[in-house]
């Protein structure tokens, strides 16, 4: 939680420079880490029903009372807890955002915490060498809880954007075959198949993601029309001139430019003439309305992509150039109403 500074502190740290503003970043980072411990130890969930004294909470959570006492006082100073006569209680913001409930922000909060505190430990190496110091997807496959959070976040975002994607796009008449590259959770493949009864879909992804998608496909009763194909999108050839439409949703940002260009050429080869590629991406040329928070998130995301995958958030101009180079024409761009950082680019295979 941003520290609630007194007027005097605000002036010293942020106006007069009598005190180092980066000290606030240090404390905000400690606040983030401590609140993450609160989420993972179950502190906020345990206090969801009302106040509890520290010793009772320690007993309930089966943790060390002194350690918990220090964590609770820190969380209080960071604005996540308050104290009443009956013990500690969640502040309204902790209660609203950090409980383990469906749709809670706690998933995003915990996912990024693991990324920043574990994955970014070698960030300097990536920047120094220009090569990702870690392999994000291998790292993820070894961390089932983080993988679950990642897939939950992707599925939620896809569920949020899918109706707008379906409204923005009309598939070519008679389209029957869709390829969803890196479409793991299958939300988009399912959405398109539900909207277009003649369509069948192939979802290509890694095993961990396909497991999530297979459940969604079965739940939608579409097992016969959506096939889940395990493969590596960087090396597996797609079937030539086979597909009417290919989805590249949040894929190209995970690759360096040379690989993006190779992938776009492979996608062009997989589409029949007149087929369509749909590219969903955040873009580095941000839409108006993202604000300071939106911009900071996109820059953080981009740095993370570079560090874990050698990718980055690209600009529209470079993606358009690479699509054209791969033989695509009639480029069009849709900016989402629901999300100022996401964009949908559509193009025809010439
Ligand atoms: C950022 S997610 C996007 C998921 C989905 N397309 C969406 O927009 O919500 C990237 C997906 O690509 C998959 N992926 C990453 N590297 C891959 C590879 N080498 N081969 C196949 N799939 C890969 C991941 O497992 C993940 O499901």
Pocket-testing residue among 144, 182, 211, ligand 1, by greatest number of atoms within 8 A of Cβ: 182
Give the integer Cα–Cα distance in Å for 200 and 183. 14
- For residues 307 and 280, is the Cβ–Cβ distance under 8 A? no
Q: Residue 287: its pLDDT value, please?
A: 57
Residues 79 and 178 in one domain: no
Per the domain annotation, does 312 fall within a domain?
A: yes
Q: Residue 341: its pLDDT value, please?
A: 82
The residue out of 67, 98, 129 marking a domain boundary is: 98
Per the domain annotation, does 131 fall within a domain?
A: yes
Residue 75: CATH number of its domain: 1.10.10.10
- For residues 307 and 126, is the Cβ–Cβ distance under 8 A? yes
Residues 240 and 130 in one domain: yes
Which percentage of the chain shows pLDDT scores above 90?
88
Give the integer Cα–Cα distance in Å for 113 and 107. 10
Residues 18 and 142 in one domain: no
Q: Which residue has the higher pLDDT, 241 or 131?
A: 131
Per the domain annotation, does 111 fall within a domain?
A: no
> pLDDT tens for residues 319-346?
999 999 999 999 999 988 888 888 999 9
Residues 80 and 188 in one domain: no
Question: 189: CA distance to ligand 1 center in Å?
Answer: 13
Rg of the chain over all Cα atoms, to the nearest angstrom: 23
Per the domain annotation, does 113 fall within a domain?
A: no
**CB of 209 closer than 6 angstroms to any ligand 1 atom:** yes
Nearest CA-CA partner of 255 in 178, 327, 181: 181
Residues 81 and 130 in one domain: no
pLDDT at 240 over 90: no
Q: Which atom of ligand 1 is nearest to the CA of 151?
A: 27
**CB of 39 closer than 6 angstroms to any ligand 1 atom:** no
Residues 80 and 156 in one domain: no
Q: pLDDT band at 289, cuts 50/70/90?
A: low
**CB of 233 closer than 6 angstroms to any ligand 1 atom:** yes
Per the domain annotation, does 166 fall within a domain?
A: yes
Q: Residue 294: its pLDDT value, please?
A: 86
Q: Residue 172: its pLDDT value, please?
A: 85
Per the domain annotation, does 78 fall within a domain?
A: yes
Residues 282 and 149 in one domain: yes
Into how many domains does the chain fold? 2
What is the average per-residue pLDDT within 296-302? 94
Give the integer Cα–Cα distance in Å for 244 and 221. 23
Q: Which domain holds residue 312?
A: 121-349
Question: 179: CA distance to ligand 1 center in Å?
Answer: 13
> pLDDT tens for residues 311-322?
999 999 999 999
- For residues 284 and 314, is the Cβ–Cβ distance under 8 A? yes
For residue 94, CA distances in Å to 3, 85, 89 come to 14, 19, 9
Per the domain annotation, does 104 fall within a domain?
A: no
pLDDT at 226 over 70: yes
Give the integer Cα–Cα distance in Å for 282 and 290. 11
The residue out of 35, 67, 98 marking a domain boundary is: 98
Residues 6+ apart with CB under 8 A from 242: 177, 179, 270, 271, 272
Q: pLDDT band at 179, cuts 50/70/90?
A: very high
Q: Residue 208: its pLDDT value, please?
A: 84
Q: Residue 312: its pLDDT value, please?
A: 97
Residues 79 and 146 in one domain: no
Residue 285: CATH number of its domain: 3.40.50.150
Residues 135 and 251 in one domain: yes
Residues 64 and 135 in one domain: no
> pLDDT tens for residues 103-161?
899 999 999 999 999 999 999 999 999 999 999 999 998 999 999 999 999 999 999 99
Q: Which residue has the higher pLDDT, 116 or 288?
A: 116
Nearest CA-CA partner of 57 in 35, 79, 90, 34: 90
Give the integer Cα–Cα distance in Å for 24 and 13. 8
Residues 63 and 190 in one domain: no
Beta bridge partners of 282: 342
Closest Cα to atom 19 of ligand 1:
232
Residues 190 and 77 in one domain: no
What is the average per-residue pLDDT within 255-268? 97
pLDDT at 288 over 80: no
For residue 72, CA distances in Å to 40, 45, 60, 64, 118 come to 14, 14, 14, 12, 24
Q: Which atom of ligand 1 is nearest to the CA of 247?
A: 6
Question: 222: CA distance to ligand 1 center in Å?
Answer: 21
The residue out of 98, 130, 156 marking a domain boundary is: 98
Q: pLDDT band at 39, cuts 50/70/90?
A: very high
Mean pLDDT computed over every residue of the chain: 95
């Amino acid at each position: 939680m941003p520290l609630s500074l007194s007027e005097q502190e605000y002036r010293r740290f942020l106006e007069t420079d009598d005190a180092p503003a980066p000290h606030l970043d240090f404390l905000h980072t400690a606040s983030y880490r401590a609140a993450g411990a609160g989420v993972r130890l179950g502190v906020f969930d345990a206090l969801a029903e009302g106040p509890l004294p520290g010793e009772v909470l320690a007993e309930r959570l089966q943790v060390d009372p002194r350690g918990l006492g220090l964590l609770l006082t820190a969380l209080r100073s960071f604005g996540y807890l308050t104290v009443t006569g009956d013990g500690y209680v969640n502040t309204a913001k902790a209660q609203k955002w950090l409980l383990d409930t469906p749709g809670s922000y706690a998933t995003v909060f915990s996912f990024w915490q693991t990324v920043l505190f574990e994955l970014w430990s070698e960030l300097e190496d990536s920047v120094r060498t220009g090569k990702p110091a870690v392999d994000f997807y291998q790292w993820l496959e070894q961390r089932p809880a983080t993988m679950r959070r990642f897939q939950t976040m992707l599925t939620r975002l896809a569920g949020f954007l899918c109706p707008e994607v379906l409204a923005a796009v009309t598939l070519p008449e008679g389209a029957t075959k869709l390829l969803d590259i890196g479409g793991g959770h299958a939300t988009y493949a399912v959405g398109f198949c539900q909207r277009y009864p003649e369509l069948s879909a192939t979802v290509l992804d890694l095993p961990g993601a396909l497991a999530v998608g297979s459940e969604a496909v079965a739940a939608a009763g579409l097992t016969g029309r959506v096939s889940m194909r395990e493969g590596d999108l960087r090396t597996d050839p797609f079937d030539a001139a086979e597909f009417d439409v290919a989805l590249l949703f949040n894929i190209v940002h995970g690759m360096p430019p040379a690989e993006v260009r190779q992938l776009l050429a492979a996608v062009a080869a997989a589409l029949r003439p007149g087929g369509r590629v749909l590219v969903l991406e955040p873009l580095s040329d941000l839409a108006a309305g993202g604000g300071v928070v939106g911009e900071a998130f996109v820059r953080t995301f981009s740095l993370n992509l570079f560090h874990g995958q050698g990718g980055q958030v690209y600009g529209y101009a470079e993606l358009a150039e690479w699509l054209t180079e791969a033989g695509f024409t009639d480029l069009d761009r849709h900016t989402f109403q629901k999300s100022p950082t996401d964009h949908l680019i559509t193009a025809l295979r010439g």
